[in-house]
Structure 1
Amino acid sequence: MQSAPVLPPEPVNAVTGGIDWARDDHAVSVVDAAGHQVRRFTVEHSDAGLRSLLTQLTRAGVGEVAIERPDGPVVAVLLAAGLTIVVISPNQLKNLRGRYGSAGNKDDRFDAFVLADTLRTDRARLRPLIPDAAATVTLRQTCRTRKDLVKHRIGLTNQLRAHLAIVFPGAVGLFADLDSPISLAFLDRFDCQDRADWLTVKRLSAWLRSVGYCGRADPAVLHARLRAAPRGLGGDQGGANAQITHALLEALRVLRTQITALEAQISEQLALHPDAPIFTSLPRSGTVRAARLLTEIGDCRARFPTPESLACLAGVAPSTRQSGKIRAVTFRWGADKQLRDAVTDFAADSRRANPWAAHLCDTAIARGHDHPHTVRILARAWLFVIWHCWQDGVPYDPTRHRALQALLTLPEAARAA
């Protein structure tokens, strides 16, 4: 197991740097060992500006830089130059401003100084950034882009559903999913109430055969659903609204095509990743879910020296606050939301394939926890298992999962209790 990376007791050349990232330019501050700002400048967000940034940091003797984000062109340039990067989140920076005054005003140059001085004073708490491998970063970007497109697809489907509820209600509940290929094909051919009125059971059956419908629902049942639904708009008004329907259908098709292309890319990239067997071995992880877990956890083992540190960053460990006799255990708001989403998505579905996970869920529900809390409890338990597999570099093996095997040895009545 790798030990967590730490900063040396004293900064390189007794100076530290801070960079306040912005879209067009970046404010930079250099602080000496006494906490005095010895240099302050601004560089443009351009190739020439980033080269100037490196030149001026080198002249000032800066070997360590604090910044608010762990990625991007600025971080890439600094890492390539061999500088040590320390990430201080925007939420932390907001609270740190109070050290230097009560106004709390946002100023880029002042924030750069706060970052540099915090790197000087709080070295024991801060950890240097160790970037993930290029394969992990690329896979992470692909997974996040797919997730964003899925979100857009869901929003567009809801927009189409709301539109059809007014102009053509019969098409809304006709098939299981409004954005499924068969549903989109139906709306392409029968985009308004007038065209749907032409359908009989025989004609609908013939059209379904022509498009290769799987036949899960009988054509007579589908036709009955169309007839039972409220009538939509007809005539010129129905035809005009059909143009809106086709516009939404085309946008949905583009999204579905690009999501499918990204899923193929995720599958290919995951197959080539050395950590893939660890995450694909988890129950009901699949391809996309395994890829998300892998990329959000990363491949730097030193980043999470304990399973507790991973659970806290994922936001599935509760936050305890205590003052005097008052003790409150609450939801952990400060977390990596991408990591939390990936872990809870996996945990929520794992109970369908793993008796241990199902037992933990049933127990939590019996104690009165709601569904989100139950999923976080299960996700925290899974992270302890995943962390050990990840640190040891071995796939998940149910036969070596002691809690699962202990549960399986119990009588059926004891498991249900």
Structure 2
Amino acid sequence: MKYAPPVLAPKPANNMTCGIDWAGRDHAISIVDARGSEIHRSAVEHNAVGLRVLLGLLARMGVSEVAIERPDGPLVEALLDAEVTVVVISPNQLKNLRSRYGSAGNKDDRFDAFVLADTLRTDRTRLRPLVPDTAATTALRTACRARKDLIKHRVALANQLREHLNRVFPGAVGLFSDLDSPISLAFLARFDCQDRADWLTPKRLSAWLASVGYTGGTDPAVLHAHLASAPHGITGEHSRAHAGVTAALVTSLKTLVAQIKVLYRQIGDQLDAHVDAHIFTSLPRSGTVRAAKLVAEIGDCRARFPTPESLACLAGVAPSTRQSGTMRSVGFRWACDKHLRDAVTDFAADSRAANPWAENLYRQARSRGHDHQHAVRILARAWLYVIWHCWQDHTAYNPDRHGALQAFLRSQPPTA
């Protein structure tokens, strides 16, 4: 089943449109009539009272369509709950639209609200009303993005801890595979300075590793040799002050690691309960987090992407073509949904290990001189055509029904 994209009515109700310039503390409001004349301008605070004032104003003036720059947040939720049609005009589009009304291109919240309202009046055939995803998809998207942010914080904090240890306790760096691994954090919690590490012998280190259930497989004598051969850290009276910094960083890192695990479990539970889970978990090497990110970023509103090309463009994996006269250039698509691009390219890059068709497409792109990232985007675009059909038809990915994969497998010589 294919879904037609939602469209706006030929004319707005009561021939009036509204533009709202979103801000952190207040929102600029502009209402224009059928002739493009501004008949109302005001601002409301970003709080419960301000939202009630805004909704009351729209109701009194008979405005049922609003243009805004972002697709989420309390303001958008309040408008949708009041059955107001919301149209999203991205900041990049708004920046270019300002030149319609003047050459200066200055940024002004009240003027931007007018530009949004007037664009909603004049460009109706090119605009689409916002169709929100279900609450389950929105919650999953929030969890996935929060986990991604926490991982960034974990990496930054681990780098900070590594830099600190390189100065005061170099032997702890590289002792275990990852500085933020459970065994490494447990070691630093117990031996937070060079003085305490100097107490260790191969036998004592072996006993401590056994007490914490170490399963890394590296001989304790090898680990102790690493500690002994590393540059000697700070000892004596000053080591206690540095040990306090180590303890603070280790405790913070432990908390981050634990919360990332909690979010991972929550994401798994939310994905299992999602109606589209079977589609994305069937993809090769999708796993839990990758499948959840694809569900969350693509969403569940089929009408939002009436064609696979529209999905590929928003994901930033379709090239951007510029042409003027005899000049034609094809380049990277900067204007896209960065979260969606991250989700599809992450999946595509790892799918090569489990799908020979994907690996062949990637190798062909590399053989044409493309770098790794460009080749992954080419592969991601091909995957999105497959994913789009599965998504539109509510069917899981089946390698046996993947025509391009089967054609590639038939073209390969039989193995002995």
TM-score, normalisation: structure 2:
0.97
1:86-235 correspondence to structure 2 within 5 Å: 86-235=87-236
Q: How far did residue 162 of structure 1 move?
A: 0.7
| Distance across 2 between alignment mates of 1:236 and 1:344 | 51
1:355-394 correspondence to structure 2 within 5 Å: 355-394=356-395
1:9-408 correspondence to structure 2 within 5 Å: 9-408=10-409
Q: Deviations over 1:174-207 (max 9, x none)?
A: 1111000000011111111222122222211111
Q: Deviations over 1:356-415 (max 9, x none)?
A: 11111111111111111111111111111111110000111111111111112223499x
Give the secondary-structure state (helix, strand or coil) at the position aligned to 2:150: helix
Give the secondary-structure state (helix, strand or coil) at the position aligned to 1:221: helix
| Distance across 1 between alignment mates of 2:202 and 2:86 | 68
Task: Name the aligned partner's letter for residue 28 of structure 2.
Answer: A
Structure 1 residues 109 and 95: alpha-carbon distance in aligned structure 2, compared to 1, 3 A threshold: same
Give the secondary-structure state (helix, strand or coil) at the position aligned to 2:381: helix
Task: Name the aligned partner's letter for residue 295 of structure 1.
Answer: A
| Distance across 1 between alignment mates of 2:230 and 2:338 | 41
Give the secondary-structure state (helix, strand or coil) at the position aligned to 2:175: coil
Structure 1 residues 247 and 412: alpha-carbon distance in aligned structure 2, compared to 1, 3 A threshold: farther
Q: How far did residue 237 of structure 1 move?
A: 2.2
| Distance across 1 between alignment mates of 2:216 and 2:298 | 42
Task: Name the aligned partner's letter for residue 331 of structure 1.
Answer: F
Q: How far did residue 63 of structure 1 move?
A: 1.2
Q: Runs of at least 4 residues of structure 1 off by over 2 A? A: 410-414
| Distance across 2 between alignment mates of 1:191 and 1:248 | 11
Q: How far did residue 148 of structure 1 move?
A: 0.4
Give the secondary-structure state (helix, strand or coil) at the position aligned to 1:40: strand
| Distance across 2 between alignment mates of 1:127 and 1:58 | 22
Task: Name the aligned partner's letter for residue 332 of structure 1.
Answer: R
Give the secondary-structure state (helix, strand or coil) at the position aligned to 2:19: strand
Specify every segment of 5 or more residues in structure 1 that has no aligned partner in the other structure, as ranges: none
Bigger CA drift: 39-48 or 262-271? 39-48
Give the secondary-structure state (helix, strand or coil) at the position aligned to 2:35: coil
Q: How far did residue 91 of structure 1 move?
A: 1.2
| Distance across 2 between alignment mates of 1:364 and 1:230 | 46
Give me the CA root mean square deviation.
1.3
Q: Deviations over 1:316-366 (max 9, x none)?
A: 111111112211111100010011111111111111111111111111111
Q: How far did residue 108 of structure 1 move?
A: 1.3
Specify every segment of 5 or more residues in structure 2 that has no aligned partner in the other structure, as ranges: none
| Distance across 1 between alignment mates of 2:208 and 2:410 | 54
Q: Deviations over 1:206-260 (max 9, x none)?
A: 1111100014211122122222222211112222211111000000011111111
Bigger CA drift: 263-272 or 235-244? 235-244
Give the secondary-structure state (helix, strand or coil) at the position aligned to 2:125: coil
Structure 1 residues 370 and 39: alpha-carbon distance in aligned structure 2, compared to 1, 3 A threshold: same
Task: Name the aligned partner's letter for residue 101 of structure 2.
Answer: Y
Task: Name the aligned partner's letter for residue 48 of structure 1.
Answer: V
TM-score, normalisation: structure 1:
0.97
Task: Name the aligned partner's letter for residue 257 of structure 1.
Answer: A
Bigger CA drift: 214-223 or 393-402? 214-223
| Distance across 2 between alignment mates of 1:294 and 1:226 | 46
| Distance across 2 between alignment mates of 1:306 and 1:412 | 35
Task: Name the aligned partner's letter for residue 240 of structure 1.
Answer: A
| Distance across 2 between alignment mates of 1:163 and 1:293 | 37
| Distance across 2 between alignment mates of 1:395 and 1:334 | 30
Task: Name the aligned partner's letter for residue 297 of structure 2.
Answer: E
Bigger CA drift: 211-220 or 387-396? 211-220
| Distance across 2 between alignment mates of 1:275 and 1:215 | 38
Q: What count of residue pairs does the alignment treat as equivalent?
A: 414
| Distance across 2 between alignment mates of 1:87 and 1:216 | 55
Give the secondary-structure state (helix, strand or coil) at the position aligned to 1:18: strand
